[in-house]
Amino acid sequence: MSYNNLAINNANFNLEGKLATLWFDNLLLGTGKELVEKVMEDVAEKEQWSSDTFKEMKKVQISSETLLPSISFMDESIIEDDYFKDAADVLKDKYAKELSSPKTYGGAMHEIVWEGFGIANSVKYWTLLNAKANCTFLPMDMEQQMLGKVFGSTTDMGYSNFSDIITAIIPDISEYSWDEIIEIRHHNYWTQFRKKLTELSESIEDKKLGQDILEEIVRKDLIEMAQRFRPQVTKNIVKGVVSNIPLPIPINPVSVVCTGYDIMKEIDFDKKYGWIYFYLDNKK
């Protein structure tokens, strides 16, 4: 997250920050370590985070200085002429009306220079971070347009699809406390759920289609689970004898237990189906 996004939108603590904290292992913040720590302490005290949440957040949301200790975010030396020109072109469209009038032209150009510097710096700074370690840029609208001009297109590592799907599953997630967000990160099956969404994101791009496909995958895997645990006569002679003892109920429980035990041995059940438990636990 760029300095601009943090300063203007308080992005790491709004809905975007909550979703990014869930989706990514770490959230790099484009500002200094001291400021990150100070702001986090203030928010933790104001919102009365638990001590466990505070410790976890300090591990998850970290200053980008961790990767680039020798370069400050607003370092003029990293700006290249082409980056600033592209940023200015993006902003000229934004301020087209003001630029067309002599009365507002000067003010518009002033804004273009300052905003252009910030946007160009954000994008260039991200390229330096990305050279150190593969990371995703979570841009504001103007920064996204700048990325389009410089790179054509960039990947967000499935974040957009995740955002759309998780807010469909948990519509009021924006109201969740940070204690609850961290609790989700530690859900027994969160890792499996995130992996499933990553696979989903790699195969689709349309967000609404992604939701539809997720629902279909849920149905498919639930049916598959039911089929795997369908009571059946086992091939093992001992199990066969025991499970075929007449009982006054339509399904012999021994057969069910034997079948389930065999299946658990044959497949890594949590790895294959664990994501569904996260989905069912959080679906509203």
At 101 the pLDDT is: 94
Residues 6 or more apart in contact with residue 150 via CB below 8 angstroms: 83, 86, 123
Residue 178: which of 77, 281, 8, 43 has the closest Cα?
A: 43
**CA-to-CA distance for 200 and 209, rounded, in angstroms?**
10
Does position 234 have pLDDT exceeding 70, yes or no?
no
DSSP designation for 236: S
Does position 105 have pLDDT exceeding 70, yes or no?
yes
Query: What angle (nearest 5°) sits at the alpha carbon of residue 248, between those of residues 244 and 250?
Result: 70
**Please, which pLDDT band fits residue 156 given cuts at 50, 70 and 90?**
confident
Residue 119: which of 156, 97, 89, 153 has the closest Cα?
A: 89
**CA-to-CA distance for 1 and 180, rounded, in angstroms?**
22
DSSP designation for 57: H
| Rg of the chain taking only CA atoms, in angstroms | 26
Per-chain mean pLDDT for the chain? 79
DSSP letters, 69-119, are: TT--TT-GGG--HHHHHHHHHHHHHHTHHHHTSHHHHHHHHHHHHHHHHHH
Does position 42 have pLDDT exceeding 90, yes or no?
yes
**CA-to-CA distance for 165 and 17, rounded, in angstroms?**
16
**Please, which pLDDT band fits residue 19 given cuts at 50, 70 and 90?**
very high
Does position 199 have pLDDT exceeding 80, yes or no?
no
At 18 the pLDDT is: 94
**Please, which pLDDT band fits residue 40 given cuts at 50, 70 and 90?**
very high
At 125 the pLDDT is: 84
pTM of the complete model: 0.75
Query: Mind listing the pLDDT tens digit for each residue in 60-71?
Result: 999 988 888 876
Do 78 and 68 meet the contact criterion of CB atoms below 8 Å apart?
no
Q: Hey, which residues does 62 pair with through a beta bridge? A: 28
Two structure tokens written together for 250: 């339509």
Do 60 and 21 meet the contact criterion of CB atoms below 8 Å apart?
yes
